[in-house]
Structure 1
Amino acid sequence: MKNKLRRLVVDSKVFFYVINETYSKVGETADGEWRTVLRLFREGYKNTALEFHFNTQDVTLIGNPLTNSSEFDNKNKEQSLNLHKPSIVKIFIRYGLKNGWDFRKSKMKFIDGNDLIRNELFK
């Protein structure tokens, strides 16, 4: 999918987001790795973005598990996740705001988005 800027309204505030995906192959026969970045910002505040970084293994026939509604095991519960769904992106926006992201003043990055998925956002 192309890197497309999308609009989303959360609590009467307009946000924009983009998902960047990069694939790199590891070895000749091994599956590769996906590096995915979810970048969010408030309307009018493009320079103070909220970013979530993810590293995931390629899934044969599916591709990037974070953008294809793949199921993952979260504390023995099967859950699905697709970063292209606005309801999922809203969870990330609310998490950033709750944890100190001030879109008027500064950027914020979460380098291990995988850990957030497993331990914080989808308990």
Structure 2
Amino acid sequence: MRKIKVEDNGYLYKCESGFGINTEIATFEITIFLENYKQTPLKINFITWEDLYAGNPLKTGVALKKIATQTEEFVNLNRPKYIREFILYGLKLGWNGQNKLESIDGLRILRSLDFDVSSLYPKEGFFVGHGREYLK
């Protein structure tokens, strides 16, 4: 577990990756706890693709375009910069570290940060995230 401080509160977090139902689909999960409150984590799930050689793009890092500026930013979700953004997003949704929220679609958070996440979706035809969309 790694530590981070956001708005005068201490948090612990961990990042885990795995494979979904199909080997074309990969998962990346970030679990964040307010210090001393391990029973009420903030869970953020990403459903994406995984490359046999390059690995999970969110774990190893990927260049994503900012929609407003059309500039690219190298995004690696292991970096504290993004963990901080996820904590702030959870706080806006009403999570305070002592209450439970449903798992959050991480790609939705990245979109709210103005990233074009279209390159992260699994291949066509697979179920995607909490939005209950199907790629066509």
Which TM-score applies when normalising by structure 2? Answer: 0.72
Give the corresponding residue for 1:22.
18
**For the Cα contact (< 8 Å) 1:52–1:109, is it kept in 2?**
no
Amino acid across the alignment from 1:18: K
**For the Cα contact (< 8 Å) 2:89–2:109, is it kept in 1?**
no
Amino acid across the alignment from 2:45: H
Q: Report matched runs for 1:87-102 at 5 Å.
A: 87-102=81-96
Give the corresponding residue for 1:67.
59
Amino acid across the alignment from 2:17: E
> Runs of at least 4 residues of structure 1 off by over 6 A?
none
Q: 1:6 aligns with which of 2, 17, 23?
A: 2
- 1:109 maps onto 2:105 in alignment: no
Cα RMSD, aligned residues only:
2.0
Give the corresponding residue for 1:84.
78
Amino-acid identity (%) = 29
**For 2:74 and 2:108, how far apart are their aligned partners in 1?**
15
> SS state of the match for residue 57, structure 2?
coil
Amino acid across the alignment from 2:88: R
**For 2:21 and 2:100, how far apart are their aligned partners in 1?**
30
**For the Cα contact (< 8 Å) 1:69–1:80, is it kept in 2?**
yes
Change (3 A) 1:25 1:50: closer
Amino acid across the alignment from 1:121: L
Amino acid across the alignment from 1:79: E
Q: Deviations over 1:25-52 (max 9, x none)?
A: 84xxxx6221111000100111011011
- 1:40 maps onto 2:32 in alignment: yes
Structure 2: gaps spanning 5 or more residues: 116-136
